[in-house]
Structure formats: C-alpha cells, structure tokens
C-alpha cells in the first residue's frame, strides 16, 4: 500500500499540473518537455520531509495558485541603468517586444523560446532541459523539472565570440497574482564571452531556470538582482556546465522577497576551469532566503568558490546549503566555500549546512560558516570618531557584505550593486 505521504505528494502534483494547464506546444522542444514531465512525476513536488527542503517550506511554491504579491514601486533609478546593454523585458513572465531593445548584438544570436521550438534551432534543442536533467542527480530538483516541462517563455542565447555588450533580462512585475515560469538557455562557444544581467521581481511567483553551457576557454559573467517586492516568491535554478579553461561567475543580490530559493548547480567538466558562485542578501522582517549550491569537480586543477553573505533583521531567516563534490581523479581541486550571516537582532536566524564530499586525495578544499552580530569594538571605534551609531552600523554591514560583492569582476556592475545595498540600508535607517 502506498504511504499516505506519498499519495499526498502525488495529489499535490496533480493539482499543481492541472492549474498549470496544458504544457506549451513543444515543437522541437516537445521531447525535452515530455521527459521533464516524466521526471517530475517520478520525483513528486518537494515535500516538507525532504532532507533538501529541511530549512525551507515549499508549500507556497507547490500550491496551484500563486499567492497575491503587491507590486512595489521603487523610487530610485533603474539598476544597471548606466550600463550600455541590450535590454530584453519580460512582464509577468511574458516577453514584451515593445519595451525591449532589438535583440541584435555582435558575437551573439538571441532567440525567443517559441522560435527555438518552431524553427528547430539545434544547439538550443540540445541544451534545453539537458543540464537540468543532469542536475537531478544525486539530488532531486522537482521545481526545475516542472519548469522545463511548462516554461511559457524565455530566451536562447548563443554566444559565438566576445559579446559587444551585456545582455540584460529585465523582469517586471505588474499583476499581483502572476505566476511566471521562464526558462533561459545560454551557450558559449569555445573562447566566447558574455555578461548576462538579470533584474526585477518578475511576478508574484516566479519559477526560473537558466542553463548555461560554457565552452572551453569561454567566460560567462552573471550578475542578477531579484527585485524588491516584499511579497514576491521565487524558486530559481542555475545549471551550468563548465569546460576546460572556462570561467563561470555568478552573483546574486537579493533584497526583500517573502520567499526565495536559489539553487545553483555547477558541473566542472574540463581541466583548469573556474566557477564562482556568490550572493549577498539583505532581509528585514518577513523574509526567507535560501541559497542551495552544488558544485561538482570532475576535472583536474579547477577552482571553485562559494561566497554567501546574509544580513538579517527583524525575524528574517537565511538558509545556506552548499556542497563541494570532488569526483575521483579530480586532483588539484581548489575549493572554497564561505557562508556567513550578520544577525542584526536576536529574532533573526541563519541555518547552514555546508558539505564537502571528496574522492580525490590531492585537493585543497575549505569551508566555513559563521553567524554573528555587529562587532561592538568596531562599532565603538567608529562612534568614537564621530560616526553616529546607525551610520556606523551600515558601514560595518557593507564591510561584512564586501567579500561577496567583490566577486563581481566588472567595477561598474560592482559599484551599482554596492549602491543598491547602500540605498537599502539608508532607507531603513530613516524608518528606524
């Protein structure tokens, strides 16, 4: 007899799928979508008893309908506004050609997902759902399979040379009940380079997958900011495959959002490659932020870094689950992982599960996780020099976040992100 819990899981999945309606017409992506749906049926939706969801309740991500989320009207200028970029705008998860730039960029071709489906674009077909499927082992990621099966929109970006400027995916949230499922795929040919920017809350509930195939010697830089809508929810996945001598770097800023689960699954398959995954989040009050990272080393002399910093106050919760898996033979691996939280009061909490699993003997891996309050000695030192308490606290908070922000290589992007964090802190200083 099937256990009750499992039956419940299946029922929940049926309800969820019924609410999603028919999957989009597949075209050449049909087989990938069908395979993903089969995977999802085999896995079921994430459950509260699943070890991988121990710290984060998946209920509202599983629910058939998105919960209402008010649209936040930001007072400040657009993020990355000063950066020369190709803008592609999605409103509640639907591409808006009017609001977007022409998708024309030297060294790059950009297609919408539906074009990939109808025109049978081979490289994209060979990538769509493929890295996601690989990323299901050894840990199930049902929401990503759901995404592959049901994604309504997204872009396929093929980088053949050095992209002339960054591509910016901008996600507007207009409808308080929107439930967006977006799937983007990026392929960088050997030696190609791209900076991908993403920002915005996207929807009341957002499920997004980004698959990135970084060819030999290629470089992919990714900077995203998840939008400040307090009530939004998001489950995002990045799946990356990093080939020989390639560089993969991703940074995420999260300020606000009632629930965020960001998974990043990186497989390093070529020697001498580099993968950095970083994030800074700041949460105040009703805020639950989960970074779940899995980096697999399956090649020689590769370097990976996971750098996550969380500032939490007024009962906010931060979660970090990070793993470095070093496969047999992946000698000379240099793996680093740090996850830290700054708790600005006693109500906030940080839950961390750092893991190392190493099957090679000649490796250098380190990890650390800490949780602490503002350093009182440093605070007094600043105040003794005339800096008022609130301002001094902000300075120390930014200093705490610095190691994560410094993971952003481009100085202009780094300054933009730094400015956002400064603004976030300063606004809270005024409201007390």
Q: Counting contacts by CB under 8 A, is residue 385 touching another protein?
A: yes
The conformation of residue 103, written as its DSSP 8-state character, comes to: S
Structure tokens at 19: 């609410």
E strand or H helix at 428, and its extent? helix 411-431
Q: Lay out the site mask for another protein across 318-337 (x = CB under 8 A, - = otherwise).
A: --------------------
352, 339 contact by CB (below 8 A): yes
Q: How many CB atoms lie within 10 A of CB 286?
A: 15
Closer to another protein by Cβ: residue 347 or 375: 375
Compute the least distance from the CB of residue 418 to another protein, in Å: 11
Q: Which of 391, 409, 410, 428 binds another protein (CB under 8 A)?
A: 391
Q: In what order do the strands lie in the sheet with 167-172?
A: 94-96, 86-91, 167-172, 193-199, 219-225, 247-255, 274-284, 303-313, 334-343, 364-372
Structure tokens at 241: 């495959």
Closer to another protein by Cβ: residue 361 or 376: 376
Q: Which of 386, 411, 431, 432 binds another protein (CB under 8 A)?
A: 386
Closer to another protein by Cβ: residue 37 or 387: 387
Q: Which of 7, 389, 419, 426 binds another protein (CB under 8 A)?
A: 389
Q: How many CB atoms lie within 10 A of CB 51?
A: 8
Closer to another protein by Cβ: residue 173 or 310: 310
The window from 168-176, 274-282, 342-350, 395-403 that contacts another protein (CB under 8 A) reads: 395-403
Q: Counting contacts by CB under 8 A, is residue 382 touching another protein?
A: yes
The per-residue DSSP string of 349-377 comes to EEEEEEEEEE--SS-EEEEEEEEE---HH
Closer to another protein by Cβ: residue 17 or 392: 392
Compute the least distance from the CB of residue 281 to another protein, in Å: 17
Chain centroid, CA 179 distance in Å: 18
The per-residue DSSP string of 285-326 comes to SS-EEEEEEEEEE-SSS-EEEEEEEEEEETT-EEEEEEEEEE
Q: How many CB atoms lie within 10 A of CB 389?
A: 13
215, 187 contact by CB (below 8 A): yes
Q: Which of 153, 230, 387, 428 binds another protein (CB under 8 A)?
A: 387
Closer to another protein by Cβ: residue 78 or 369: 369
Q: Counting contacts by CB under 8 A, is residue 422 touching another protein?
A: no
Compute the least distance from the CB of residue 307 to another protein, in Å: 13
Q: Which of 134, 332, 353, 383 binds another protein (CB under 8 A)?
A: 383
Count residues binding another protein (CB under 8 A): 24
Q: Lay out the site mask for another protein across 402-421 (x = CB under 8 A, - = otherwise).
A: xx------------------
Closer to another protein by Cβ: residue 174 or 430: 430
Structure tokens at 277: 């995954």
The conformation of residue 153, written as its DSSP 8-state character, comes to: B
Q: Is 122 helix (H, G, I), strand (E, B) or coil?
A: helix
Q: Which residues pair with 335 in a beta bridge?
A: 304, 365
Compute the least distance from the CB of residue 428 to another protein, in Å: 18
Q: Are β-strands 104-105 and 108-112 bridged in parallel, bridged antiparallel, or unpaired?
A: antiparallel
Question: Measured between alpha carbons, how far is residue 418 from residues 73, 401, 408, 414 in Å?
Answer: 20, 9, 10, 6
The window from 155-163, 262-270, 318-326, 392-400 that contacts another protein (CB under 8 A) reads: 392-400
Q: Which residues pair with 242 in a beta bridge?
A: 214, 268
Closer to another protein by Cβ: residue 98 or 377: 377
Helix ranges, 92-247 (H): 113-119, 122-125, 130-134, 142-150
Residue numbers 362-381 binding another protein by CB under 8 A = 375-378, 380-381
Closer to another protein by Cβ: residue 28 or 402: 402
The window from 123-131, 135-143, 364-372, 394-402 that contacts another protein (CB under 8 A) reads: 394-402
Closer to another protein by Cβ: residue 365 or 398: 398
Closer to another protein by Cβ: residue 290 or 394: 394
The window from 23-31, 46-54, 126-134, 390-398 that contacts another protein (CB under 8 A) reads: 390-398
d(CA 162, CA 340): 35
Nearest 5°: CA angle at 410, between 408 and 415? 80
The window from 23-31, 181-189, 255-263, 397-405 that contacts another protein (CB under 8 A) reads: 397-405
Q: Counting contacts by CB under 8 A, is residue 400 touching another protein?
A: yes
Nearest to 398 by CA among 309, 318, 336: 309
158, 109 contact by CB (below 8 A): yes
Q: Which of 47, 71, 398, 409 binds another protein (CB under 8 A)?
A: 398
Closer to another protein by Cβ: residue 156 or 401: 401
State the residues that interact with another protein by CB under 8 A: 375-378, 380-389, 391-392, 395-396, 398-403
């Amino acid at each position: 007899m099937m256990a009750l819990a499992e039956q419940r899981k299946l029922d929940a999945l049926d309800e969820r799928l019924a609410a999603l309606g028919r999957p989009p017409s597949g075209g050449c992506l049909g087989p990938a979508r069908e395979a993903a749906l089969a995977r999802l049926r085999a896995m079921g939706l994430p459950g509260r008893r699943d070890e991988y969801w121990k710290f984060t309740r998946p209920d509202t991500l599983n629910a058939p309908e998105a919960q209402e989320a008010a649209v936040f009207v930001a007072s400040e200028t657009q993020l990355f506004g000063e950066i020369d970029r190709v803008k592609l705008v999605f409103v509640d998860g639907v591409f808006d050609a009017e609001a977007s730039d022409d998708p024309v960029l030297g060294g790059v071709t950009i297609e919408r997902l539906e074009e990939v489906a109808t025109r049978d674009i081979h490289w994209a077909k060979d990538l769509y759902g493929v890295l996601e499927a690989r990323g299901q082992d050894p840990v199930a990621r049902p929401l990503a399979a759901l995404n592959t099966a049901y994604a309504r929109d997204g872009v396929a970006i093929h980088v053949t040379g050095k992209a002339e400027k960054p591509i910016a995916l901008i996600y507007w949230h207009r409808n308080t009940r929107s439930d967006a499922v977006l799937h983007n795929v990026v392929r960088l040919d050997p030696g190609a380079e791209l900076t991908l920017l993403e920002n915005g809350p996207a929807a009341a509930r957002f499920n997004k997958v980004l698959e990135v195939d970084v060819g030999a010697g290629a470089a992919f830089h990714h900077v995203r900011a998840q939008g400040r809508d307090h009530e939004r929810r998001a489950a995002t996945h990045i799946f990356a495959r990093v080939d020989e001598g390639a560089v993969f770097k991703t940074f995420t800023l999260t300020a606000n959002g009632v629930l965020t689960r960001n998974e990043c699954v990186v497989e390093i398959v070529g020697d001498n490659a580099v993968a950095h995954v970083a994030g800074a989040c700041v949460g105040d009050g009703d805020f639950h932020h989960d970074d779940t990272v899995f980096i697999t080393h399956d090649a020689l002399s590769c370097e990976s870094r996971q750098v996550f910093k969380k500032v939490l106050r007024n009962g906010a919760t931060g979660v970090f689950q990070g793993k470095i898996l070093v496969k047999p033979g992946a000698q000379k691996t240099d793996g680093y992982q740090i996850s830290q939280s700054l708790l600005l009061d006693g109500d906030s909490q940080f839950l961390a599960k750092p893991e190392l699993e190493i099957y090679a003997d000649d490796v250098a891996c380190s990890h650390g996780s800490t949780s602490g309050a503002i350093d009182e000695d440093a605070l007094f030192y600043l105040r003794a020099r005339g800096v008022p308490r609130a301002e001094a606290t902000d300075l120390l908070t930014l200093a705490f976040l610095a190691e994560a922000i410094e993971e952003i290589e481009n100085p202009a992007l780094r300054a933009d992100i730094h400015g956002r964090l400064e603004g976030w802190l300063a606004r809270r200083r005024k409201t007390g």
